Chain A
């Protein structure tokens, strides 16, 4: 089973893809920092040009715009409660909430654009060449590497449930899926143990010296 939905479009060939990885990382981080520190009153002016710039880059890169926007919306479950609570309990809450939503949406958009036009391994290589702490690079690499494997295991279990659940619905199905999550946790733990064994056998001594 192969998964590559994080950086599925990173192997396309376009002028945006061909920009050096370091420049792309700096640009994405610059936008995130800018969107974070810019006073609220400036956000309403700056957001539209930033959005146009990002969408233009997206179109040039040939990465489907709908795909990136859909993935950007994953922040909704995190932002929505803040918007609702802000609107209820704070003066000018709605305005603040909107500004916060714009900041979050554009920040995530720029980061998703970055991983859509850059191979994850290139990002890691560049961070490594910038002397980014090796332990952090290892953790990020592990997260990327094993996310696909765990997703694969989850898919296999879901398929098995579909084949054997006999069309169970409602509470029964919720119970089954919660058990699947528990099993996935145990499998992840066991895999972590085996990976650790493999690391030990190749000289890892647990002192951060990788």
Chain B
């Protein structure tokens, strides 16, 4: 439950630009993995490929099930994806509509959905936000609504794309707390290496179409030469 396995996956844009080639990795259930690398390394595209939003070659197994066109909707029930820009994700008129979107497809009754919405908002520290319009919220609140919507689906796997991007320090701390509270498998793409150091126990470095290093967060993030070779910096925690 909640494991991710990629076997020789490759992705090339229609214009011929190769993003990654023959990437393989295994992420155990309940593991928290950070994907780091320079801009344009294909980190976001990798998340899109894992969730079947772009078509990659190779084999992807989610919770030991091979992802295919036929079972993609079933696979997506196990995954929640928090996108980089909350304005892409919060498309409903009210916060409660955004959180409840798609829950009926998971087999919940109306009463259960109402209770899930309430509980998700409470855990994200957004009690009473049900009828607020998401486009009137601050960026930090929008990001928390995105997380609440992701948690509401009780996913096995949580994919996060630059979750702390543009947040103020208080908003960032709150977000880190919420991410840490999630008990399932986490895959976090970010340039915020201090956050990666706090949230993830394993790190993959993606650069020049391949995974150039993988291992425990401490081992990878404290390796100054490795980090600099990949246009990265050692986070404060390991300096």
> Do the beta carbons of A198 and B136 come within 8 Å of each other?
no
> Do the beta carbons of B135 and A121 come within 8 Å of each other?
no
Q: Is A95 an interface residue (CB 8 A)?
A: no
Docked pose: A204 CA to B104 CA in angstroms: 11
Docked pose: A204 CA to B83 CA in angstroms: 16
Residues of B with C-beta under 8 A to A4: 136
Docked pose: A144 CA to B76 CA in angstroms: 28
Determine the residue in chain A with the shortest Cβ distance to B73.
Answer: A205
Q: Is B88 an interface residue (CB 8 A)?
A: yes
> Do the beta carbons of A121 and B133 come within 8 Å of each other?
yes
Q: Is B89 an interface residue (CB 8 A)?
A: yes
> Do the beta carbons of A198 and B51 come within 8 Å of each other?
no
Given A120-B93, A121-B93, A195-B91, also A201-B133 (CB < 8 A): no
Q: Is B101 an interface residue (CB 8 A)?
A: yes
Q: Is B87 an interface residue (CB 8 A)?
A: yes
> Do the beta carbons of B76 and A203 come within 8 Å of each other?
yes
Docked pose: A148 CA to B87 CA in angstroms: 11
Partner of B94, one of A121, A191, A205, A210: A121
Residues of A with C-beta under 8 A to B94: 121
> Number of A interface residues, CB 8 Å?
27
Determine the residue in chain B with the shortest Cβ distance to A144.
Answer: B93
> Do the beta carbons of A194 and B106 come within 8 Å of each other?
no
Determine the residue in chain B with the shortest Cβ distance to A191.
Answer: B88
> Do the beta carbons of B135 and A148 come within 8 Å of each other?
yes
> Do the beta carbons of A202 and B73 come within 8 Å of each other?
no
> Do the beta carbons of B93 and A202 come within 8 Å of each other?
no
Given A4-B136, A203-B76, also A198-B81 (CB < 8 A): yes
Residues of B with C-beta under 8 A to A194: 83, 85, 88
> Do the beta carbons of A202 and B135 come within 8 Å of each other?
no
Contact flags (1/0) for B82-125 with A, using CB distance below 8 Å? Answer: 01010111011110000001111110000000000000000000
Q: Mind listing 10 A-B residue pairs with CB under 8 Å?
A: A121-B94, A121-B133, A124-B93, A145-B135, A194-B88, A198-B88, A200-B76, A201-B79, A201-B81, A203-B101
Query: 5 tightest A-B contacts by CB?
Result: A203-B102, A202-B102, A203-B105, A194-B88, A201-B81
Further pairs besides A121-B131, A201-B51: 8, Cβ < 8 Å: A4-B136, A125-B93, A141-B93, A191-B87, A198-B81, A199-B101, A202-B101, A203-B102
